[in-house]
Structure 1
Amino acid sequence: MTAPVGPSSRSRSFAASLWSRFFKRAVDIVVSALLLCLLWPLMLLVAALVALSLGRPVLFRQQRPGLRGRPFTIVKFRSMRTGSGSDGQRLTRFGKMLRSTSLDELPELWNVLKGEMSLVGPRPLLMEYLDRYSPEQARRHEVRPGITGWAQVNGRNTVGWPERLAMDTWYVDNLGPVLDAKIMLTTLKRIVMRQGIAQPGQVSCEPFSGTECKEKREDV
């Protein structure tokens, strides 16, 4: 799939505006509630395996910027050992399995149900990155952050950050039911094929330097 990465048009169709303002949230509520009801046995199993493999706490919580940059607490299954050491040293084989299958992301359905996230949207990064974005890159916060997004199905952590942030703003201007459905279906394919988990030699991707950044995956 080829991802548009050029300047955003900043113009939405009437249908896209309706989807963004009214229907997208309704779909998020219905689908996240349904998935939580269907997947709770799997989530209990994953929680038990995390407790046995990595100990407590089972969940990883971290403050991230949401819609319009407002902070919220993202919730994931923990995938690293606690304590000192580099990310690579603390990331176990079990943790790698959680990430490669995206099972660590399942608790984020609760963030979606609460209205802090969407099923589809730019991934929430770190609070300290807010003042490092260009005005165009900061437009990624015009919509709720997502469990998956346009950048995630076009390379995920293997894509350079200028390109990835450009894809985020492209999504802001072009979101709609057809695009969201396409992203969701492609996400399932990426999970099955376990593509784009990390950059070569990195746990996720390169650190943020002002023009490049990473989605922090450390558990504390």
Structure 2
Amino acid sequence: MRRATDITQRVVDVCVALTVLAALSPVMLVVAVLVRVRLGSPILFRQPRPGRYGVPFTLVKFRTMLDVDPQRGLVTDDDRMTPFGRLLRSTSLDELPTMWNVLRGQMSLVGPRPMLMRYLDRYTPEQHRRHLVRPGVTGLAQVHGRNALSWEEKFALDVLYVDHRSIVLNARICAATLVTVLRREGISAAGTATMPEFMGSGPQVDGRSGNA
């Protein structure tokens, strides 16, 4: 059953990614021009993220922040985030290039969101199970609070998805995602532009401290 779900999900991923990339290419072109004018180059944000089983891939999104520039006081995410960047994030337009990652099989439409590579040795063994599936553009945590959740709450929902994933659940998550995006809910944690860094929440996978 789980194998059949994964195969079906991959077929859906390819079909939806191709449709979105083709249908919304004019929108992506407009966003790309606006990013170039408002934020400068590069237009795309690229960063290594852990995929399935923790294997790295390069995540691609539209850029939403200014470059780090201590002389201008642009150091933290809060400093670097502009109103235009917040608009892109709140509408999830910055995620459109991620369809390329989905098309290539590095991500899925639904799954745990790909976090930073440096978090890999900060997860508990239970939290680490979130990497048993492809990371997703949206997921269970994104429709139950998004960045308003604590890290522990997010990861618990990620593992819950891994254990109970199905085509029906994926459809429900996608539908709920549309509502969340329209309402612009949970865009950031309280007091931050995105989320505070995850420093670990218990015994680590490799025995090191959560601040590694």
Q: TM-score normalised to the size of structure 2?
A: 0.91
**Which residue of the partner structure matches residue 170 of structure 1?**
160
**Which residue of the partner structure matches residue 81 of structure 1?**
66
Residue aligned with 1:151, SS:
coil
**Which residue of the partner structure matches residue 148 of structure 1?**
138
Question: Cα deviation per residue 1:84-107 (whole Å; 9 max; x = unaligned)?
Answer: 222111111100000000101110
Residue aligned with 2:162, SS:
helix
C-alpha distance in 2 between matches for 1:88 and 1:128: 21
Residue aligned with 1:62, SS:
strand
Cα offset, 1:81, TM superposition: 0.8
Residue aligned with 2:100, SS:
helix
| Larger relative contact order (Cα-Cα within 8 Å, sequence gap ≥ 6) | 1
Instruction: Flag structure 1 segments of 5+ consecutive residues without an equivalent.
Output: 1-13, 213-220
1:58 to 31, 37, 43: 43
C-alpha distance in 2 between matches for 1:82 and 1:133: 29
C-alpha distance in 1 between matches for 2:195 and 2:46: 20
Question: Cα deviation per residue 1:30-54 (whole Å; 9 max; x = unaligned)?
Answer: 1101111101000000000000101
**Which residue of the partner structure matches residue 207 of structure 2?**
none
C-alpha distance in 2 between matches for 1:94 and 1:191: 16
**Which residue of the partner structure matches residue 170 of structure 2?**
180
**Which residue of the partner structure matches residue 147 of structure 2?**
157
Cα offset, 1:180, TM superposition: 0.3
1:30 to 15, 37, 49: 15
Residue aligned with 1:119, SS:
strand
C-alpha distance in 2 between matches for 1:114 and 1:143: 15
C-alpha distance in 2 between matches for 1:17 and 1:135: 23
RMSD, matched Cα: 1.1
C-alpha distance in 2 between matches for 1:131 and 1:146: 20
Cα offset, 1:17, TM superposition: 3.9
1:114 to 91, 94, 104: 104
Cα offset, 1:18, TM superposition: 1.6
C-alpha distance in 2 between matches for 1:83 and 1:172: 36
1:200 to 168, 183, 190: 190
Cα offset, 1:207, TM superposition: 1.6
C-alpha distance in 1 between matches for 2:54 and 2:29: 31
Matched, 1:67 2:52: yes
Once superposed, which parts of structure 1, at least 4 consecutive aligned residues long, lie more than 3 Å away?
none
**Which residue of the partner structure matches residue 5 of structure 2?**
19
Greater shift, 139-148 or 78-87, is seen at: 78-87
C-alpha distance in 2 between matches for 1:89 and 1:137: 31
Q: Percent identity?
A: 53
Residue aligned with 1:154, SS:
coil
State the one-letter code of the partner of 1:66. G
